[in-house]
Amino acid sequence: MSLTFDWGAEGDEKLNVEAQAQIIALTNAYYMSNTPLEKQAISQRATEIRNDSNNKKIVDTPLKIYGDQISVIIEGSAKGYLNVNEWNRALNQVGIIAPKPTITQTNKTQGAISTATSTSQVVLSIGRTEYTVNSKSIETYNKNTGVKTGTANAMLAMNYHVTENEYLFLREMGDENVEKSLYILVAIIANDGKVTQEILNDKTLSAKGVAMIYHMNYELGMTLAQVDQMYQEEVILPKRAEAWGLLGIRALSGGGLRLQKNTVKGKPVETKTVESPKKPVAGGSGETQGTGNGINRDTIIDSATQAKRVEGLL
């Protein structure tokens, strides 16, 4: 037996880390939901995840950083059923956050028909990935016929929490797969800001180009366009102005134009006002979906080109 649901033919350990995280979120919701009908609907969502063959394929996700913690929970389920206290203790031990759920229940009677409605919203966070399971059940009872009926549904949604600077990085990376870009960002941060080809795991990406994007976006909080504009304003235009000034002086003295090297130095980048971008929200029902501003992959190539122009400035 798994924590709350029957094991699949191959077991939850065969699912990819993203699907395993969804199972953990649904298991948590199963424990915290209010009615048997809600629990049944949540269990059905878990069955659908287990039966989807795509959930056995390796995926790019920031959850890979937390693979060990997720495995501890999944593998622990093989030891048998846990009660609520044991479940919460297991989550706490690996740093998975599961705050108190929001539960509402209403009862209404009209004539011979009594209706009980229950809703549960259960949140679980693994790192910056947040899962929300919303479930609802409606039970009716006809006292004249003695017939009781009920329906229920459950939905699983996912969101990523990112800062403004992190969002700038995701946007400049330009990969349609926001999970991949987010994993790269999380891995770089965990590696003390060092970008390696092993982290990128993609021959089309340049470690040097991604490092420049990381420095500008994540560390400085600036877009490449803003850095390029600063370079134009602080280096190119002053040099051009100085050139014309020297030309005038040389003309008066009969000499020619000679612009000395390093006459104009770029000022250190300290602060820059950044327009607050709309943060990316990923949501879904039943299976994880990720959304973000779509930017062409070629941005990285363009970014590397622009970066060369400002290497002396940073």
Tens of pLDDT, residue by residue, the chain (314 residues): 344 444 333 588 899 999 999 999 999 999 999 999 999 999 999 999 999 999 999 988 999 999 999 999 988 766 667 788 889 999 999 999 999 999 999 999 999 999 999 999 999 999 989 999 999 999 999 999 999 999 999 999 999 988 889 988 988 887 678 889 999 999 999 999 999 999 998 888 999 989 988 988 888 888 877 777 776 666 555 555 555 444 444 444 443 333 233 323 333 333 333 333 444 444 443 333 333 333 333 333 344 334 333 333 33
Measured between alpha carbons, how far is 71 from 79 in angstroms, rounded to an integer? 13
Q: What is the pLDDT of residue 249?
A: 42
Question: Could you tell me the two tokens for 313?
Answer: 């400035």
Q: Has this prediction a pTM greater than 0.75?
A: no
Cα 294 to the center of its chain, rounded Å: 15
Q: Are 69 and 126 in contact (CB under 8 A)?
A: yes
Taking CA atoms, 313 is separated from 194, 269, 285, 307, 308, in Å, by 20, 8, 46, 10, 10
